[in-house]
Structure formats: C-alpha cells, structure tokens
Structure 1
Amino acid sequence: MDIEALKVVVEVLSRGSFAEVARGRGVEPSWVSRTVAAVEAELGFRLFQRTTRRLSPTELGASYLAKVGALVADLEAARDEALAASVGATGLLRLTASVAFGARCILPLIPAFRALHPAVRLDLVFTDDTLDIVAEKIDLAVRLAPEVSGDLVCTRLMPTRYRVCAAPSWGDGDGLGGDLARLASARCLRLALPAFRDRWLVRDATGTVTEVPIDGDLLFTSALTLYEAALMGLGPALLPLWLIADDLATGRLVDLLPEHDCAATQFDTSAWMLYPSRAYLPAKTRVAIDFLRERLAPLGVTGSARRDG
C-alpha cells in the first residue's frame, strides 16, 4: 500500500471533504477522489459513503482509518526523528498567532530563528480567527487567554499583562492619578470583543478590584488599529504590555494607572503554545517551542523581547 495514498485518505477523514484536502495539497479534487478510489479498490471495501452533500466513513472505513492514522503518524515521526539525528530540524513548520502578537513578537525573531535552523521552512499564519489546528495542519499555535482547554497539548509561553494607556497629547498626559471616575467619563478606545468593549477591571495595591464602565465612540476589530489610534492621541486604551512596552519606555504612550493592575476579563492571563497531541514531537516543532520560550518568556516580565541573533 502506497504511504502517500494512505496519508490522503487519513486527511479526507480528518477534513471530511475531497475539496478541502485538494486545496491543502494544491491539486484537483478529482485527483483526491481517484486516490481514495484506488485505495478502496486495493482494500476490497469502501472507506467512505459519498452523497452530493455529505462524506462520511463507513463502519469498516472508520475502524481501518483509526488504526492506519496512527501508523501514518508513527511513520512520519520516525522519518522526522531520523532526519533530525542526521541534519537537525527540517521541514515545513506552520505557525499561527494573532495578527498583533505575530507582527510584534514573532516576526522580529524570524531572522534569528532562520540563522539557527536554516533547514526549517516557515508558513506564518497570522490571523485573529481561531483556526482548527488539526484540520489546518498547524504545527504550533500561540493563543492569548486566561486558560485553554481541549485535546491539544498546551504549555505556557509567558504571562501577559495589560495597561490603560494613552498618548501624551491626550488629556494632561500625566496619568489619571488613580481617578477612576475620570476614566469612566472619558471617550475610551474600545476593542470589539464582548469582554473588552464596555468595562475594564482595575485592582489597587490592597487587592481591591473595581469594575470601571467605559464608553467611547470609536470601536475597533483589530488590536493593531486600536494601538495605532492610541498613539494618535484619540483616547485611552487597554493594551497588552508586550505590544506597548517600547512606547511606554520612550514616552510615546503614558501609563494612566501605573499603581494599578488592569485587565479586561482576568488578571492572570497568558500566551500559550498549543500543538496536536502526538507520541513523538517533530524536531521542527520542538526547536520552535524552545526558541520562542527562550526569547519571549522575558517579555512577560519586562515587556521587551530579545530580538538579537
């Protein structure tokens, strides 16, 4: 049985569509259909029931593909392990992150990563959509959340902290002096997410948490455009420290509540690295995890990433 053909039928089971597999491989759906038909002919039974609207595994197909899928993964893992032992990390690494985190934290590190691992090719998928990591063949994802759940392997990359900030040209340019009423009455810049758009959480030195209602006539769907609007002096914004640390250091932005902790939903939030559960972690994914942890873990404390080679 041809291993590549088996990989195709396993992908069809995962994606549930000849067309989706074809798009991912850059081939015609008819090629995928012929490949599946050839495997079925060699096996002597149907793997999938096909209708005009639906593709589903047969009972025999589901049983067969459950076992074959694990074998295909083991064969790929064995190949990766042998290559890693001889030439180091190699292959295509598909890495996804949000647009803002990708642009600010990951992209500046790419030259150093390429210098260390020249045989690893990168497919950087920066999007604010939550991708299906398995269906999209993502090797490594970075997600920002208080916590993550599901069947994926998850490890914390770094803690994330948020600050309420504005450009010096906004207001007095010297903070709010702890006056939360001023913040509540300000025309704030808001992110178009339910947890971010109508109230922020503020915690003082005693641990007292205040829910501050916010309002404003500017609403943004992108963290990067929200950040740019804050730089323009259009109002206060709640932004992650990893995005604004350099601006706070240079004075382009002012921390309006320096004596307080600030958050949208929870104060204990993090950037997490997620990858599909496998018995063997490919060398390309392992070196990426180690590299990002080394370079970005300090960002959770200092807000400034190491970008040197």
Structure 2
Amino acid sequence: MDTQHLRLFVEVARQGGFAAVARDADIDPSNVSRSIAALEDELGVRLFQRTTRKLSLTEAGALYLTKVAPLVDELEHARDEALAISRGATGTLRMTTSFSFGLQALTPRLPEFRALHPQLKVELLMTDANLDLVNDRIDLAVRLGSQFSGDAVVSKLMTTRYMVCASPGYLKQHGSPALPQDLAQHACLLLSLPAFRDAWHFKNARGEITDVPVQGDMVISNLLAHRQCAVQGLGPALLADWIAQEALAKGELVDLFPDHQVTATSFDTGVWLLYPSRNYLPLKVRVMMDFLKTHFSR
C-alpha cells in the first residue's frame, strides 16, 4: 500500500477537504482526489461521502482513520528522527502566538534562529485567536496567561510581571499618583479584555492586596497600540514587562508603583509553550523551545 495515499487520507480527514491539503503539499487538488480514490479502490470501501458542499468521513472511513492516523504519525516521526541524525532539524515548524508578542518578542530573534537551523522552515501565525493545535496543525504555540485547558503539553517560557506605567509628560501635566488608590482620579488607558477594564489588583511587599477600580475613555484592543498611547501621554496603562521594558529603559515611560505587584487577573502569569503530543516531541519543536528558553531566561 502506498504510504503517500495514507498520508493524504489522514490530512484530508483532519482538514475536511482536498483544496487545503493540496495547497499545503503544493500539489494539484486532482492529485489528492485521485490518491483518495486509489486508496478506496484498494480497500474496496468508500472512505468519504462527497457532496458539492461537504466532504465527510463514512463510518468505515472514521474507523479506518482511528487505526491509520497513529501509524502515519509514527512514520513521520521515524522519518524526522532518521533525517535529524545526518541533517539536523528539517521540515516546516508551524507555530502561533499573539500578534503583539510575536512582533515585539519573537520576530527580532528569528534571524539568529535561522542562522542556527538553516534547513528548518518556520511558518509563524500571529493571531490573537487561540488556534486549535490539532485541527490547525500547530507544532508549537506561544501563549500568555495564567492557565490553560485541554490536552496540550505546557511548558513555562518565562514569568511575566505587570506594572502601571505613564509617560513623563502625562505625569508633569496631571501629577503622579502616590498610592494605587489615587488612580481613581485619573483617566486610565484600558484594554478591551473584560477583566482589564474594571479593576486592577495591587499587592504590596507585605502581601496585602488592594483592589482599585479604574475608569477611562480609551479602550484599546492591541497591546502595541496600548503601549504607544501610554508613551504619547494619554494616560496610565497596565503593561506587561516584556512590552514595557524598552520604553522604560528609554525613559519614555515610568513605572508608577515599582514596590507593588499588579495584575488584572492573577498574580501568577507567564508566557507558555504548548505542543500537542505527549508521546513524541519532534526535533524541529525541540530546537525552537530550547532556543526560546535560552533567550528568555536572560
């Protein structure tokens, strides 16, 4: 049996159509269709129900998929391991992260990564939507937050710290709040996420937590735009350290409460690496994870 037919069958079943599989494999959709037809002829069963609008697995096709998909994955893993011995990391690493983190923290490091692994292609999907690791064929996801659900394997890349920042120009015009509670007298810059728009939580050195209601007339959805508005003097903003540190170093922003931990959700927040398989970690994923952990540990 032609293993290429099996690979295409699994991908068509996972993606629900010929066109997407053909595009990923850089072949004509008719070739995918012929491959599936050849597999059906060889097995003597129909694997897909085809209509003008929809392609779905038959009962026999669904059963066949459960048996064949792990075998195809193992063949791919064996191929990757064999190639890794002589060629290093190869293939295409499909990874995703948020637009702001990708632009601010990941893309500046890609030239060095490419120099280290010139035979590995990187497909970086920057989106604020949480893509499904399996259905969207994601090898590695970089996500921000405090907790995650699902079957993905999670590894912490770094801890994040939030701070309330404002520009020197804003503070000169409106005064600097002495206490977190003084923010009630300021029009703050708010993120469009619900938890970030109502109250910010402060923890002092003694571990005492103060909940401070916040209000403002500017609600922004993008983190980079959020920082830029703060730099331009439009108000205090709650920013993560990875997005604020450059502006702080340049003196464009001031950390208003350096002796406090601040959050809008949980004090235990970080950047996390997620990958779908608990049984096998491809070399292409491993080298990227090691590269990122080396850089962000600094």
Is TM (by shorter chain) over 0.5? yes
Is 2:227 the counterpart of 1:227?
yes
Task: Kindly indicate whether the alpha-carbon contact (under 8 Å) linking 1:201 and 1:263 is maintained by their aligned counterparts in 2.
Answer: yes
Aligned twin of 1:176: 177
1:296 aligned onto 2:289: no
The CA deviation string for residues 31-71 of structure 1, in whole angstroms up to 9 with x for no partner, is 43333222111111011233455433222212211121111
Task: Label 1:27 to 1:264 Cα distance change in 2 as closer, same or farther (>3 A).
Answer: farther
**How far apart are residue 6 of structure 1 and its match?**
1.3
Which residue number in structure 1 is paired with residue 247 of structure 2?
Answer: 247
**Within 2, Cα distance between the matches of 1:13 and 1:297?**
40
TM-score normalized by structure 1?
0.90
Shift of 1:23: 4.6
Partner Cα separation in structure 1 for residue 24 and residue 135 of structure 2: 10
**C-alpha separation between the residues in 1 aligned to 2:67 and 2:237?**
51
Q: Who is 1:306 aligned against?
A: none
Deviation digits for residues 266-286 of structure 1 (CA, Å, limit 9, x no counterpart)? 010111101121533211111
Deviation digits for residues 229-267 of structure 1 (CA, Å, limit 9, x no counterpart): 111111111111011112222311100111111111001
Aligned letter for 1:99? F
Structure 1's unaligned 5+ residue stretches are: 299-309
- Cα distance in 1, alignment partners of residues 142 and 273 from structure 2: 5
1:142-198 per-position Cα deviation (integer Å, ceiling 9, x unaligned): 000101121111111111111110111112388422x23321221111111111122
Measure, in 2, the Cα distance between the counterparts of 1:221 and 1:28: 40
SS of the residue 2:169 aligns to: coil
Q: Which residue of 2 aligns with 1:32?
A: 32
What is the CA RMSD across the aligned residues, in angstroms? Answer: 1.9
Residue-by-residue CA offset, 1:204-231 (whole Å, 9 max, x unaligned)? 2221222211111111111111111111
Residues 255-264 or 27-36, more deviating:
27-36
Q: 1:129 to 1:28 in 2, by over 3 A?
A: farther
What residue identity is the alignment partner of 1:219? V
User: Aligned partners of 1:98 and 1:175: how far apart in 2?
Assistant: 32
SS at match of 1:171: helix
Deviating more after overlay: 73-82 vs 10-19: 10-19
Where structure 2 has 5 or more consecutive residues not aligned to the other structure, the ranges are none
1:10 alignment counterpart: 10
- Matched letter for residue 157 of structure 1: L
Distance in 2 separating the partners of 1:38 and 1:160: 53
- Give the match's secondary structure for 1:60: helix
Q: Distance in 2 between matches of 1:155 and 1:32?
A: 37
The answer to whether residue 205 in structure 2 is matched with residue 205 in structure 1 is: yes
Q: Equivalent pairs: percent with the same residue?
A: 52
- Is the partner of 1:170 in helix, strand or coil? helix
Divergent runs of 4+, >6 A: none
Distance 1:60 1:21 in 2: 21
Aligned to 1:78: 78
TM-score by length of structure 2 reads 0.93
Bigger shift: residues 265-274 or 23-32 = 23-32
Query: Quick check: 1:152–1:274 contact (8 Å CA) kept in 2?
Result: yes
Q: CA deviation at 1:25?
A: 4.0
What are the equivalent positions in structure 2 for 1:278-289 lying under 5 Å apart?
279-289=279-289
What letter corresponds to residue 227 of structure 1 in structure 2? Answer: R
